[in-house]
Amino acid sequence: MQNQEIIKIIENLKGRRNYVEKKASKLGFTSLYDYFEDKILKEKKVIEDKKKECEEIKNDNDLKNKENKSCSCC
């Protein structure tokens, strides 16, 4: 099944289509669809990695705050 988002991106290339086709072929992709599919998957992975990193930092900060408190009531 084809992703409608990718199809819309390809349709909106207009004058840049030849440039993007050459770029995709240099990178080893057989079609524009494969190129944009890979590009979107990479962007999603980067977003997920940033979320995980933020969660880890938040957890580390919470642990540090708990360790720095001197009394057990806080």
Residue 23, domain member (yes or no)? yes
**What Cα–Cα distance (Å) separates residue 27 from each residue in 9, 22, 38?**
18, 9, 11
Residue 12, domain member (yes or no)? yes
pTM for this entry: 0.70
Q: Into how many domains does the chain fold? A: 1
Task: Say whether pLDDT at 71 is over 70.
Answer: no
Residue 74, domain member (yes or no)? no
Q: Taking the CA of residue 45 as centre, how many other CA atoms within 13 Å lie in the half-sphere pointing to its CB? A: 6
CA distance 40 to 29: 14
Q: Tens digit of pLDDT for each residue in 31-66?
A: 999 999 999 999 999 999 999 988 888 877 776 666
- Domain limits for position 39: 4-68
Residue 73, domain member (yes or no)? no
Confidence class of residue 22 from pLDDT cuts 50, 70 and 90? very high
Residue 46, domain member (yes or no)? yes
Mean pLDDT of the chain: 86
